[in-house]
Amino acid sequence: MTIKRVHIFTHCADADGRASGAVLEYFLSHNWIDIPEIKQTDMIKIEFHPWNYGFKLDSIFIGKNDIVFIADINFDEDDFVSIIESCNGRVYLFDHHESAYDMLNKYKQYLYDGSVFNNEHCGCMHVVNFVREHIRHGVDEKYINMLDNIELFCQLIEYWDLNTRVDLPIDEPINNESIKYFIYYLDSINTNPWDPKGADFWGELFENALDDVAFKQFVKQCIDVGSIIYSAIQHRLAIECKSYFFTGIFENYTFIAANKYPGLGNTVFDCVDMSKYDLFICFYYTKTGYWTFSINTNKDIDLIPLWNKYNKIRSGGHQRAGSIKCDYFIYDPKNKILQLKFNEEENINNNDAATQSVGD
């Protein structure tokens, strides 16, 4: 029996990254994923690495024979190359952040077959599809069938993650409001698969996924409890909004901002007239020493040029949502101009093309 060491890097800040890590861990730990590097008789040792933008690899802890899975997160180029070199290219990657496509295309020849990075699906749906395609022969049929329920769970996350605001027919069993409540519930509890309490949540979910009726009831309970949490939070926000909301201009876009953690997306601003603003910004100070500005839009605005402008610093995201980490910021209350500032200012990509494309 050979011990195979597997590293899972997954985005630690949202439901997509946590679900990606949980699904990978569940099927890898049972050795139910059939890939050339892992034999059916191997014992799998999994090491979780919850990751976020702005994190740095302080040391290379990946062995040359290790296998690396990267889900719903991307690295700066130096760290990404270090990972590839450390494990001799034994890397599987599942991502959908458009801001990373250029770099990933540069190194895609070093990624294993089955890796995928596009915005057709979110990270956890890419993972589910990968598991389906690589399920080991001989796995009990009930564990294969449970993927249908796991896929439903991940689809709800995808509707939220890829659209921020979903637009679904109101007569569908799962609609815009219920998905919002679903995410509010997930955000209110520990769903970190690398943490014992979070692992308990996923253990319950996978157990329920074996039975269609039990699983639908499980999802319904998430939605029902989430609706109560949403109502309570919105009631408080409506009372408190004037104390920490402010408006202005950032990169030629109008915005409304709140000094709040952005786990709930722009629903933080449900209590205001959102049609007045191009951008919705939640910002907070992190333990890594950065200010994180989570930015998204409900309008037909392409934010990729914004992420590209700040890409050499600490940013990443999608066409309509993403984040930037800065060292400090300046807000001029008179002119209402917001500026994000960096100690390594010279690294910002301020070429004319990038600058002109932002806010045009």
pLDDT tens column, 228-250: 999 998 888 888 777 778 999 99
Contact (CB, 8 A) for 92 and 69:
yes
Q: What is the residue whose two structure tokens read 């209110």?
A: 188
Residues paired with residue 280 on neighbouring β-strands, in sequence order: 256, 296
pLDDT at 348: 44
Exposed, middle or buried: residue 247 (CB in 10 Å: 0-12, 13-18, 19+)? middle
Cα-only R_g, the chain: 21
Strands 245-250 and 253-258: antiparallel
| CA 262 remoteness from chain centre | 12
pLDDT at 345: 53
Domains, the chain, in order of start with CATH, read 243-357 (3.10.310)
Model confidence pLDDT, tens digit, residues 193-226: 999 999 999 999 999 999 999 999 999 999 999 9
What SS3 string covers 142-185? HHHHHHHHHHHHHHHHHHHHHHCCCCCCCCCCCCHHHHHHHHHH
Say if residue 169's pLDDT is above 70. Answer: no
Residues paired with residue 93 on neighbouring β-strands, in sequence order: 70
Q: What is the mean pLDDT of residues 139-151?
A: 96
Say if residue 163's pLDDT is above 70. Answer: no
Residue % of the chain over a pLDDT of 90 = 59
Contact (CB, 8 A) for 107 and 101:
no
- Helix-helix angle 176-188:15-29, to 10 degrees: 70
pLDDT at 97: 85
pLDDT at 355: 27
Say if residue 111's pLDDT is above 70. Answer: yes
CA distance 343 to 50: 26
pLDDT at 60: 76
pLDDT at 147: 96
Contact (CB, 8 A) for 48 and 18:
no
Say if residue 318's pLDDT is above 60. Answer: yes
Indicate the residue type of 192. Answer: N
Nearest to 161 by CA among 10, 16, 324, 323: 16
What would you measure as the largest C-alpha separation in the chain, in angstroms? 69
Contact (CB, 8 A) for 217 and 243:
no
pLDDT at 352: 32
pLDDT at 349: 42
Q: What is the residue whose two structure tokens read 């209350």?
A: 333
pLDDT at 237: 80
CA distance 354 to 342: 18
pLDDT at 353: 30
